[in-house]
Amino acid sequence: MHAEAAPAKLNLSLALVGRRPDGFHDLVSLVAPIELADELTFTPDGAWSIACDDPSVPADASNLVLKAAEAYARRRPDCPRGRFFLTKRVPHGAGLGGGSSDAAAALRLLDRASGSPQGADFLEAVAGEVGSDCAFFVRGVPAVMRGRGERLEPLAPGPRRALAGRRVLLIKPPFGVPTPEAYSLFVRYGTLRSPEQAEALLEAWMARPEADPTALGNDLEGPVFRKFIALPVGLESAAAAVRQPFRMTGSGSACFCLTRGEPDVDALRAALRRCWGPGAWVVETRIAS
């Protein structure tokens, strides 16, 4: 049996800069992995299957782990088949990339089990067939995403060091936001940025990476908040509890803040439970190096 961690990610910024002929959006996004992670194991057994400790995770062909396995097998038909088991810690429907990270972990496991690993460049190409942000999780290093998420530029050492180890408070209400719905809301309510504006803001942060990268903004946040009004109401309570603002990651519904002090996490949990009920989720983690 082989095991692989599948870290979540934060979209520290997310600018939408164009609509593509294929219906997707072009984006410019500063993305970083965090220490919160699922765990995926693989046992060669002759046929694909997946099980999970979370019964709400589908175990059929719609699961991205099995989609990744099939994509890998199309490139390498002689690869071993077998059983995956997923220990789920990253909530789905949260904008944290949990499913995509699980898929990338499956690709790394299969590549290692195949006896002649093809390496990250090969796996990124395969990951691009599985989902828009799967390629990011192959290497899992802080990067700028462009295109629909498949074009990656790893951060230079200075900005990467500035992010590494930053403490993160993650919160999520007891509901998710489907990614297609978030983008549909943007089409209805949002406004595209110019690529030049998005790149200029990002370049300014790169020059001073000790600054707060969340100031670059998330263009999905406003449109999503217009429908899911429990989110901005909860974030107001969260910000008051820890005296720091929260931003949405990806398409939501998870939100986060980068903190340097010693926030009162108990007060945060209490405030969110009053607002969102007992299903409110709060986790402390860090940006991975």
Tell me the mean pLDDT in the region 81-86.
Answer: 97
Same domain? 11 vs 128:
yes
Quick one: pLDDT at residue 280? 97
Select from 126, 155, 184 the last residue of a domain. 155
Q: Report the CATH number at residue 15.
A: 3.30.230.10
Whether residues 211 and 109 fall in one domain: no
124: tokens are 């990124």
Q: How far is CA 214 from CA 29, 33, 47, 53, 258, in A?
A: 11, 15, 44, 33, 9
pLDDT score of 22: 85
Q: Identify whether residues 151 and 179 lie together within a single domain.
A: no
Residue 82 β-bridge partners: 44
138: alpha, beta or left, given left = phi > 0 and alpha = psi -120 to 50? alpha
Q: What are phi and psi of 44, to 5 degrees?
A: -55, 130
Domain shared by 68 and 180, yes or no: no
* Structure confidence by residue, pLDDT tens digits, 216-232: 899 999 999 999 999 99
Active-site residues: which are they?
9, 133
How remote is the C-alpha of 238 from its chain's centroid? Answer: 21
Cis peptide bond upstream of 253, omega within 30: yes
104 band by pLDDT with thresholds 50, 70 and 90: very high
Query: What is the C-alpha separation between 103 and 275, in angstroms, rounded?
Result: 34
List the CATH number of the domain containing 183: 3.30.70.890
pLDDT per residue over 219-268, tens digit each?
Answer: 999 999 999 999 999 999 999 999 999 999 999 999 999 998 889 999 99
CA distance 249 to 176: 12
Same domain? For 9 and 130 the reply is yes
pLDDT, position 13: 96
Of the residues 155, 170, 201, the one at which a domain ends: 155
End-to-end CA distance of the chain: 27
Same domain, 279 and 150: no
Q: What is the mean pLDDT of residues 128-147?
A: 94
Are 193 and 15 spatial neighbours (Cβ–Cβ below 8 Å)? yes
Contacts of 181 (CB under 8 A, 6+ apart): none
Q: Are residues 167 and 144 in the same domain?
A: no
pLDDT at position 25 is 94
The residues with which 285 forms a beta bridge, in sequence order, are 168
pLDDT of residue 184 exceeding 80? yes
Q: Are residues 176 and 282 in the same domain?
A: yes
Q: Are residues 12 and 92 in the same domain?
A: yes
Report the alpha-carbon distance of residue 185 to residue 165 in Å, rounded. Answer: 33
DSSP one-letter string for 25-81:
EEEEEEEEEEEEEEEEEEEE-SS-EEEESSTTS--STTSHHHHHHHHHHHH-TTSPP
Is residue 281 within 8 Å of residue 91, measured between CB atoms?
yes
- 182 shares its domain with 270: yes
Residues 115 and 197 in one domain: no
Q: Is residue 46 pLDDT above 90, yes or no? A: no
Check: CB of residue 254 under 8 Å from CB of residue 9. no
Taking 90 as the threshold, does the pLDDT of residue 189 lie above it? yes
> Considering 139, 155, 171, which residue would you say is the last residue of a domain?
155
What is the domain extent for residue 69?
2-155
**CA–CA dist 109, 84 (Å, integer):** 10
Asked if residue 131 and residue 174 are part of one domain, the reply reads: no
Q: What is the mean pLDDT of residues 44-65?
A: 93
Read out DSSP for 93-143?
A: SSSS-HHHHHHHHHHHHHHHHTSS---HHHHHHHHTTT-TTHHHHHH---E
What is the chain's mean pLDDT, rounded? 95
Q: Number of folded domains in the chain?
A: 2
| H helix or E strand, kind and range, residue 204 | helix 195-207
pLDDT at 261: 83
Beta bridge partners of 153: 144
Q: Are 134 and 108 in contact (CB under 8 A)?
A: no
What percentage of the chain has pLDDT greater than the value 90? 89
Cα R_g (the chain), whole angstroms: 19
